[in-house]
Amino acid sequence: MKVVTVVAPVNIAVIKYWGKRDEELILPINDSISGTLSTDHMCAKTTIQASPLFQENRFWLNGKPQDFDNPRLNNCLKEVKRRAKPSCPILNWKLSICSENNFPTAAGLASSAAGYACLVSALAQLYEIDGDISSIARRGSGSACRSVYGGWVQWVKGESPTGEDSLAVQLAPASHWPEMRVIILVVSNETKKYSSTSGMKTSVETSQLLPYRAKEIVPKQVERMKRAIADKDFEAFARITMEDSNSFHAMCLDTFPPCVYMNDISHAIVDVVHTYNQLKSSNKVSYTFDAGPNACLYLLESEVEEFLSVINYVFPPRSGSIQDEYIKGSKVKQLPIQEELSRKFEFKVHKEGALKYIIYTKLGDGPKVLTDEKDHLLTQEGIPK
């Protein structure tokens, strides 16, 4: 019997991937860039056990049994086995796989990215394969290839029709920009209306903006973003991040029928960020939205307390809610909003509970192998604990 447990991070793109040039190989039509979040607060965890005694392959996700006959899972497994040494003794053993996320799945919070990065890292460990595994994680979910590395990561779209050059590269580790922080405003934790996979397929088929974005906008923004990260130029970073999120959602609306991911609360958050930045006369906070209504804010540590005082004022928690449950993640001092700011934001105050909760976190490293027996999600018999 052999068992491996891995935790893998979520990543949040600042230049979005949207649209495939090859559906089967998951090859994108443009490069993308993301920050990998710390696994301290949000992560996927996967245990894989291989045994000559198992009769069949089994898979559980968040406690529920899943069909193992899933093409993306099997593409990843096939590719890892292809790269394993032929002498690997466990190649023919059956597997038990148990995976969990500690945040809402399919709510636009990049759960498939962390999940497939975790699965592929665990498989790579189990079958002892070396080298870059991002191109394997990509076969599970495109954005998963970026969660294979920590810090700032670029998914280079590649040119080859067979996809071997479509992989993730680390631009800088998390330690390069230690002041960078991330606040996620969870607007809804319900499953999204249309998955990224089907939404982007419809965009490729119908959006006239999409080819323009891929050819004319993204390549320039990728170069600007790489420079902003290398120079730790927050003003530029924030501007490009917000521009790309807006360009991505414009393309979603240009899709027919449109993919509407942001809701009224999402737009209210955009408005609060711009008002705040105007008051500060520079871009102190930036937002980005994936295929869902939740906002992901990138900002520097020096801005966190004051900006959260504004968020708490504009989006008051439901009365009686416990502060630690409303703001999850790293500890942060709660400041009352300054009088001058409250006057400026007075007209924007929303009803209690418009935000479900907030996660305060930062960037972190790539997947980690956990070696303590108690970390395994499966019993000796290969059943979830």
Residue with Cβ nearer ligand DP6 (196 or 312)? 196
3-state secondary structure at position 8:
strand
Site size for ligand DP6 (CB under 6 A): 16
Q: What is the distance of C-alpha 324 from the center of its chain? A: 23
Q: How far is the CB of 146 from ligand DP6 (least distance, A)?
A: 7
Q: How far is the CB of 114 from ligand DP6 (least distance, A)?
A: 11
In the chain, where do the E strands start and end? 2-9, 11-15, 20-22, 27-28, 32-36, 43-51, 58-61, 64-66, 94-101, 152-156, 167-172, 180-186, 285-289, 295-300, 327-329, 357-362, 368-370
Q: How far is the CB of 314 from ligand DP6 (least distance, A)?
A: 25
Q: How far is the CB of 213 from ligand DP6 (least distance, A)?
A: 13
**154 touches ligand DP6 by CB under 6 A:** no
DSSP tally for the chain: helices H, then strands E: 11, 17
Select from 3, 5, 6, 17 the one that contacts ligand DP6 (CB under 6 A): 17
Tell me if 29 sits within 8 A of 135, measured CB to CB.
no
Q: How far is the CB of 149 from ligand DP6 (least distance, A)?
A: 14
Residue with Cβ nearer ligand DP6 (10 or 308)? 10
**197 touches ligand DP6 by CB under 6 A:** yes
> Where does this chain touch ligand DP6 (CB under 6 A) — which range of 106-114, 323-331, 349-357, 363-371?
106-114
**CA 144, CA 155: separation in Å to the nearest integer?**
10
**CA 37, CA 131: separation in Å to the nearest integer?**
23
**46 touches ligand DP6 by CB under 6 A:** no
Tell me if 281 sits within 8 A of 324, measured CB to CB.
no
Give, as ranges, the residues between 19 and 38 that touch ligand DP6 (CB under 6 A). 26, 32
**141 touches ligand DP6 by CB under 6 A:** yes
**CA 366, CA 34: separation in Å to the nearest integer?**
12
Select from 96, 143, 170, 266 the one that contacts ligand DP6 (CB under 6 A): 143
DSSP string, 29-98: SS-EEEEEBPTTTSEEEEEEEEETT-SS-EEEETTEEE-S--HHHHHHHHHHHHHS-TT-TTTTSEEEEE
Tell me if 384 sits within 8 A of 60, measured CB to CB.
yes
Q: Is 137 left (phi over 0), alpha (psi -120 to 50) or beta?
A: alpha
Q: How far is the CB of 289 from ligand DP6 (least distance, A)?
A: 8
Q: How far is the CB of 144 from ligand DP6 (least distance, A)?
A: 6
Give, as ranges, the residues between 109 and 128 that touch ligand DP6 (CB under 6 A). 110, 112-113
Residue with Cβ nearer ligand DP6 (48 or 259)? 259
Give, as ranges, the residues between 252 and 291 that touch ligand DP6 (CB under 6 A). 290-291
**246 touches ligand DP6 by CB under 6 A:** no
Q: How far is the CB of 328 from ligand DP6 (least distance, A)?
A: 21
**CA 169, CA 121: separation in Å to the nearest integer?**
16
Q: How far is the CB of 141 from ligand DP6 (least distance, A)?
A: 3
Residue with Cβ nearer ligand DP6 (132 or 306)? 132
**196 touches ligand DP6 by CB under 6 A:** yes
**142 touches ligand DP6 by CB under 6 A:** yes
Of all residues in this chain, which one has the CB nearest to ligand DP6 in the complex?
142
Maximal CA-CA distance, the chain: 70
Partners of 58 in the β-ladder: 96
Residue 182: Cβ within 10 Å count: 25
**75 touches ligand DP6 by CB under 6 A:** no
Point out which residues bind ligand DP6 (CB under 6 A).
13, 16-18, 26, 32, 110, 112-113, 141-143, 196-197, 290-291
